[in-house]
Amino acid sequence: MSNEIKTITPEEVQQLLNEGKSVSLIDVREDEEVAEGKIPVAKHIRLGTIPERLEEINKDEEHIMICRSGRRSEHACEYLQEAGYEVKNMVGGMMKWEGDVK
């Protein structure tokens, strides 16, 4: 069984948004980091709160996990993938994001 985490680049995420695709972005950073700006359509679920907030994450769609550099979101991906979710990790995280933030 492959536990490899699928990845997506910030550019690819931007492309999906530009095309008007319905994508689920989940930002797992801490509150103070998100306060400095997140991708407008991203939902904020702190990494530490994912286990108790699983019901907010739809199992029928794929989710793109985001953090500052891509490391915490990778942990989130590992956890969610184990739990049966379809996830991708945005490599490079918000440090590499060049699109809109709010």
Assess if residue 68 is contained within a domain. yes
Q: Is residue 62 part of a domain?
A: yes
Does the structure show a pLDDT above 70 at 39? Answer: yes
Instruction: Determine the Cα–Cα distance for residues 93 and 69; give it in Å rounded to an integer.
Output: 4
Nearest to 74 by CA among 7, 22, 10, 11: 7
Catalytic residue among 26, 42, 66, 67: 67
Question: Backbone phi, then psi, for 19, in 5-degree steps?
Answer: -80, 0
CATH of the domain at 38: 3.40.250.10
Terminal Cα-to-Cα distance of the chain (whole angstroms): 39
Can you give the pLDDT at residue 78?
Answer: 97
Domain containing 42 equals: 6-96
Structure-block tokens of residue 86? 């379809």
What is the per-residue pLDDT for 3? 74
pLDDT band at 90 (very low <50, low <70, confident <90, very high): very high
pLDDT band at 29 (very low <50, low <70, confident <90, very high): very high
Q: Is residue 32 part of a domain?
A: yes
Please report whether residue 49 resides in a domain.
yes
| Catalytic residue flag (residue 67) | yes
pLDDT in tens, 55-89: 999 999 999 999 999 999 999 999 999 999 999 99
pLDDT exceeds 50 at position 25:
yes
| Counted domains in the chain | 1
Q: Which of residues 2 and 13 earns the better pLDDT score? A: 13
